[in-house]
């Protein structure tokens, strides 16, 4: 075990397979960190070695990775205010971490979450910056008329592109339905209350008239309701509200 620990400290980090190639048995080494989902072995702090899945990491390297990930994610948020969470690939490269299992462990030690291919920090959120005023105008418009979604040229005139709208959605200000259509996050539920009052089944034209909107908005909104399981498409022309049972 002492030779194995010395080898890990010499290299900084090493995969179990590489230790086996050296004639060493990774399972002989007690570490002072977790091994996947298994209970950690008795800690041996003087060895200063941590195991994450099949990786053995010297304590100094672990600390360096922790510092690098903390600084790197902060720098990324500053330089990418609309989309402040780096991808796993970016985080791995910038912090010098060898694989995703180790990245998840380092992120977890910092209280971060690795999800959907990104490293998420709870203390970081998108910053709309100068786009905030334009988003607020869209929100005010939709508050007055929930299905009066701005047209593409109106969004472009306000410099609201894909990144700005995605950031507004992440902040819970808008909901993107696709095809450049945005509504309030509450608009689908409001639409359901109206559609539930229609004779069932109903057509797209029935829904459009009841909602007081256009086909441009009605179709992606109805498709969104279908995906959520709130409405059901029966054929090429008809849908119905899915009634809850119980």
Mean pLDDT by 10 residues, the chain (246 residues): 74 84 69 48 56 88 96 97 96 95 95 96 94 98 97 96 96 93 97 96 97 96 97 94 76
Angle between helices 131-144 and 162-170 (to 10 degrees): 70
Right CATH for 188-241 from 1.10.540.10, 3.40.50.300, 1.10.10.10, 1.20.58.1610: 1.10.10.10
pLDDT at 174: 98
How many Å apart are CA 121 and CA 43, to the nearest integer? 29
Per-domain boundaries in the chain: 1-125, 131-185, 188-241
CB 114 within 8 A of CB 107: yes
CB 228 within 8 A of CB 195: no
The pTM score is: 0.76
Cα-based distances in Å from 178 to 61, 70, 183: 45, 34, 10
Which residues make Cβ contacts (< 8 Å) with residue 160, sequence separation at least 6?
Answer: 131, 134, 135, 138, 168
CB 77 within 8 A of CB 124: yes
pLDDT at 46: 42
In this structure, are strands 231-233 and 49-52 parallel, antiparallel, or unpaired? unpaired
pLDDT at 109: 94
CA torsion sign, 80 to 84 to 176 to 131?
negative
pLDDT at 30: 56
């Amino acid at each position: 075990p002492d030779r194995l620990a010395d080898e890990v400290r010499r290299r900084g980090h090493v995969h179990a397979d590489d230790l086996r190639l050296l004639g060493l048995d990774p399972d002989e080494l007690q570490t002072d960190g977790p091994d996947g989902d298994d209970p950690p072995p008795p800690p041996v702090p003087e060895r200063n070695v941590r195991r994450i899945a099949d990786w053995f990491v010297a304590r100094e390297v672990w600390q360096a990775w922790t510092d690098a990930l903390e600084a790197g994610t902060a720098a990324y948020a500053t330089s990418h205010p609309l989309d402040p969470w780096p991808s796993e690939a970016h985080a791995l490269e910038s912090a010098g971490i060898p694989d995703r299992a180790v990245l998840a462990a380092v992120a977890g030690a910092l209280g971060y979450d690795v999800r959907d291919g990104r490293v998420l920090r709870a203390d970081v959120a998108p910053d709309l910056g100068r786009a905030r005023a334009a988003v607020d105008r869209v929100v005010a418009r939709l508050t007055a008329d929930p299905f009066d979604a701005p047209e593409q040229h109106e969004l472009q005139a306000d410099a609201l592109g894909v990144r700005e709208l995605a950031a507004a959605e992440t902040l819970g200000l808008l909901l993107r339905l696709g095809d450049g259509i945005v509504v309030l996050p509450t608009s689908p539920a409001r639409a359901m209350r109206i559609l539930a009052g229609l004779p069932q089944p109903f057509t797209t034209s029935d829904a459009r008239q009841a909602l007081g909107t256009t086909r441009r908005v009605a179709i992606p909104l109805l498709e969104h309701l279908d995906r959520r399981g709130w409405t059901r498409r029966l054929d090429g022309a008809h849908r119905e509200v899915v009634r809850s049972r119980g």
